[in-house]
Amino acid sequence: MAFKRVCRSLDLAEGGIIRFVPPEGRAIVVCRSEGEIFAMTDKCSHGNWSLSEGFLENCHLECVLHGSAFDLRTGWPDKLPATKPLEIYDIKIDDGDVFVDIDSGYIAKK
């Protein structure tokens, strides 16, 4: 486990998207949607584009480049052209701060 602080929970409003790059890891996109906070690899599996520039709606993050949409709960795309899933990460809220476990990335079952 390697939880890293991302931001204050209050600074991540509903619909908010943050790109988090830990010094020793890959970029992670952290979002709040439908009241929950999610973390996923910040690299579209279609064309290597940052999803933190995307559109967020109903727990889905859409890539601005070609429109693939990823379910933040599973990391799986449910809109083409992407077909491969992204890793999702464990989150914890502690004393009003949002933390991501940067070692917890995994591919969820569809």
* Binding positions for ligand FES, rule: CB under 6 A: 44, 46-47, 49, 63, 65-68, 81-82
DSSP letters spanning 34-83: TTEEEEEESS-TTT---GGGSEEETTEEE-TTT--EEETTT--EEETT--
- In the complex, minimum distance from the CB of residue 23 to ligand FES, in angstroms, rounded to a whole number: 26
Q: How far apart are CA 88 and CA 35, in angstroms?
A: 17
- In the complex, minimum distance from the CB of residue 74 to ligand FES, in angstroms, rounded to a whole number: 17
Instruction: Answer yes or no: are the C-beta atoms of 44 and 30 closer than 8 Å.
Output: no
Name which of 15 and 47 has its Cβ closer to ligand FES.
Answer: 47
Name which of 4 and 19 has its Cβ closer to ligand FES.
Answer: 19
Name which of 78 and 94 has its Cβ closer to ligand FES.
Answer: 78
Using Cβ positions, the residue closest to ligand FES within the complex turns out to be: 47
- In the complex, minimum distance from the CB of residue 62 to ligand FES, in angstroms, rounded to a whole number: 8
Nearest one of 33, 62, 63, 31 to 48, comparing CA atoms: 63
- In the complex, minimum distance from the CB of residue 48 to ligand FES, in angstroms, rounded to a whole number: 7
User: 86 is written with which tokens?
Assistant: 């992204």
